[in-house]
Structure 1
Amino acid sequence: MFGPFKGTLPTLGGLLWKRSWRMSKDQKFRLRKRMQLVDRNIEVLYQSLKPAGEGQVSTGHPKIDHLKFVFPKENEMKPVDKYTTFNKNAKNYRKAVHHVPKWTKLSFRENPKYF
Structure 2
Amino acid sequence: MFGAFRASPVAQGGLLWKTPWKLSVTRKANVRSRLKKVDAVIEAVRASGVQCHALDRALELPKEHEMAPKDKYTVFSATSRGYRKGIHKVPKWTRLTQRTNPKGF
- The TM-score normalised by the length of structure 1 is 0.78
Structure with a larger share of its residues in helix: 2
Please provide the CA RMSD for this pair. Answer: 1.8
Look at both structures and tell me which one has the larger radius of gyration over its CA atoms: 1
Matches within 5 A, 1:1-115: 1-12=1-12, 14-16=13-15, 17-49=17-49, 61-68=52-59, 70-115=60-105
% same residue: 43
Contact 1:22 1:96 in 2 (8 A): yes
Cα displacement string for residues 33-86 of structure 1 (whole angstroms, at most 9, x for unaligned residues): 110000011111112127xxxxxxxx5x44323322x20111111111101111
How many residue pairs align between the two structures? 104
- The TM-score normalised by the length of structure 2 is 0.85
**Comparing both chains, which one has the higher relative contact order based on Cα–Cα distances under 8 Å and sequence gaps of 6 or more?**
2
1:8 positional shift: 2.7
Contact 1:36 1:74 in 2 (8 A): yes
